[in-house]
Amino acid sequence: MNPRKSPLSSEADIQNAYFGTRVAEAYVAGRFESELNRILHRKQVAAVNKVMMEHLPVHSLEIAPGPGRVTREVTPTGKLTCLEYNAGMIEQGKQNCLNVNEWVQGNAFELPFEEPFEFVYTFRFIRHFKHEDRQRLYSQIKRVLTPGGYLVFDAVCERFSKPLRLAKPEDYPIYDKLYPRGELLKELSAAGFRVTKLIAVQKFFRWQYLSQVMIGPRANWLNRLIVGGLESLPRQDGLEWIIVCRRA
């Protein structure tokens, strides 16, 4: 019997996992075609646009935009710079995103910027790293973010996600940090960020997923109503959070 492989989590692991043109071309279709993930996508775009509209950043930075899934739907109020490690992702992003002023190929662990940003956002990135590497990323973001500037990113809720991962670990080849709410808040406070909002996403995942699997293939219009209706109900936590925070 083969020993179970540990999920990929190092800087090199994550860089290699998303490397290449084929990965870039298939990224959005492969991950965001379901109703559940469309809800996730829409909430991420809305969170970024809300910060932009309310605080009017002069210069915003997106880290690890990939092929521009979120990027292409945001409305910058000033200059938007995208930093991406993978050249294939940049190639796709340039085709998809006409709202970006500057694409920079570089490493988020060594941000190649001296000028300040009022707003930094990133999705499906910080969560993939273990504690020491997350601290490195927070330090780099804090270095380029103006005092009081905003950071928006995502995190995975341990309460809802851990049972899924224990049941089918083979479905999760890339590491995600799973947080209890209190631990997430404590980690960000220690890194120098003050959380202003936690937005729950996929709030009734078990039932939403069942609808997607059982109803979606036959009547996706009904599945869309069920998934969206459940998402509209009040709940403090979901499978994931979108975090809005400020540099202290």
pLDDT tens across 124-156, in order?
999 999 999 999 999 999 999 999 999 999 999
pLDDT(16) > 80: no
Q: Which amino acid is at 198?
A: L
How many CB atoms lie under 10 A from the CB of residue 40? 23
Query: Tell me, what's the pLDDT at 178?
Result: 98
CB contact at 8 A, 89 and 65: yes
The identity of residue 180, as a single letter, is: P
Q: Is residue 3's pLDDT more than 90?
A: no
pLDDT band at 9 (very low <50, low <70, confident <90, very high): confident
pLDDT level of residue 161 (50, 70, 90 thresholds) = very high
Q: Which runs of E-coded beta strand occur in the chain?
A: 59-63, 79-84, 102-105, 117-121, 145-157, 178-179, 193-201, 240-247
Query: For residue range 32-75, what is the model confidence (pLDDT) as tens digits?
Result: 689 999 999 999 999 999 999 999 999 999 999 999 999 999 99
Confidence of residue 1 (pLDDT cuts 50, 70, 90): very low
Summarize the confidence of residues 13-29 as an average pLDDT.
67
> How confident is residue 31, by pLDDT bands cut at 50, 70 and 90?
low
Overall average pLDDT of the 70-91 stretch: 96
Alpha carbons 241 and 109: distance in angstroms, whole number: 23
What's residue 24's pLDDT?
Answer: 61
Residues belonging to the chain? 248
CB 98 within 8 A of CB 129: no
Q: Are residues 82 and 100 in contact, defined by beta-carbon separation less than 8 angstroms?
A: yes
- The 3-state DSSP class for residue 179 equals strand
What is the share, in percent, of the chain residues with pLDDT greater than 70? 92
Domains of the chain: 11-156+173-201+237-247 (3.40.50.150)
Please report the pLDDT score of residue 7 as a whole number.
85
Stated pTM of the model: 0.92
User: pLDDT at residue 2 above 60?
Assistant: no
